[in-house]
Amino acid sequence: MELKICHLYPDVLNLYGDTGNILCMSRRLQWRGIGVSVTNAPIGSPLGLSQYDLVFIGGGQDFEQQVLLDDLHRGRDKEILAAVEDGLPFLTICGGYQMLGAYYETHTGERCDFIGALDLYTKGSDTRMIGNYKFQCSESAGGSVIVGFENHSGKTYLGPSLEPLGHVLKGFGNNGEDGTEGAHYKNVFGTYSHGPLLPKNPAFCDLLLKTALERKYGKAELAPLDDAAELAAHDEMCKKLE
Ligand code: GLN
């Protein structure tokens, strides 16, 4: 078995250790004897999403989100939209998560038209939502408690048919108003959690890997790993956020 991971826009969307998510997924596959390859798809490179089993998109500031718009609208937007509908697994963080929505209006009123793969939009605000936070994933996204770090001024609002990834236990999440965090649509998992997200949340990492392996091979059992260090980090942060 092997997973082919595409790291989309590593040149511009790469904040707060987001690339650590790729390292974490790769190691957890390798420790189980499962093959993995990672392909970077920076601005200007050919995409060809049908050759991949999982796509990762990290976070970026307003400036970087604007820098990639031309590239996005040269056809990548349609390709990403089709891949989402086709059930390709995505993990998208903060600016990358916002990019799968309809648009982002910055706090200075500039509008970035995005992909519209997820029924959500984001508006920049004067409040910076920053700090360690935690949320509980919905049952359909595994039900685990995630500890992470958020840093955004954008407030994201989900359309009525879009399920959040979970509910905020401490912190801001999507907008600091309605208690929702992230979005879960088909096999897309979008979240505000930087940090990186996956090393401290091994159950969530394995959910992503299992989703991708089952889509490719039909059935996949992940052998258990010794997660003592990961769970100690997770539980310590959970306690701090009580
Ligand atoms: N620029 C976006 C915001 O502040 C995303 C920031 C990020 O990815 N951390 O809302």
Tokens, residue 201: 């949340």
Q: Say how far apart CA 241 and CA 170 lie, in whole Å.
A: 7
Q: Say how far apart CA 64 and CA 103 lie, in whole Å.
A: 15
Give the nearest ligand 1 atom to 59 CA.
8
Q: Say how far apart CA 147 and CA 169 lie, in whole Å.
A: 10
Residue type (1 letter), 171: G
pLDDT at 79: 97
Q: Say how far apart CA 91 and CA 26 lie, in whole Å.
A: 14
Write down the pTM of the prediction.
0.97
Give the nearest ligand 1 atom to 94 CA.
8
Instruction: Please tell me if the CB atom of residue 62 comes closer than 6 angstroms to any atom of ligand 1.
Output: yes
Q: What's the mean pLDDT in 7-13?
A: 96
Closest CA to 77 of 116, 106, 107: 116
Q: What's the mean pLDDT in 198-225?
A: 97
> Rounded to the nearest whole angstrom, what is the distance from the C-alpha of residue 60 to the centroid of ligand 1?
6
- For 151, the 3-state DSSP assignment is strand
Integer CA distances (angstroms), 221 to 33, 181, 209, in order: 12, 28, 10
pLDDT at 173: 98
Q: Say how far apart CA 190 and CA 118 lie, in whole Å.
A: 9
Q: Say how far apart CA 102 and CA 11 lie, in whole Å.
A: 22
Q: Say how far apart CA 52 and CA 201 lie, in whole Å.
A: 24
Q: Say how far apart CA 174 and CA 56 lie, in whole Å.
A: 19
pLDDT at 46: 87
Instruction: Please tell me if the CB atom of residue 59 comes closer than 6 angstroms to any atom of ligand 1.
Output: yes
**pLDDT confidence band for 216 (50 / 70 / 90):** very high
Phi, psi of 203 (to 5 degrees): -65, -40
Enumerate the active-site residues: 94, 194
**pLDDT confidence band for 212 (50 / 70 / 90):** very high
- pLDDT tens profile 55-92: 999 999 999 999 999 999 999 999 999 999 999 999 99
Closest CA to 222 of 238, 210, 211: 210
- pLDDT tens profile 191-203: 999 989 999 999 9
User: Which residue out of 9, 12, 62 has the highest number of ligand 1 atoms within 8 Å of its CB and is therefore the one to mutate?
Assistant: 62
Instruction: Please tell me if the CB atom of residue 199 comes closer than 6 angstroms to any atom of ligand 1.
Output: no
- pLDDT tens profile 38-52: 999 999 998 899 999
Q: What's the mean pLDDT in 144-173?
A: 97
pLDDT of 104 over the 90 cut: yes
pLDDT at 195: 82
pLDDT at 47: 85
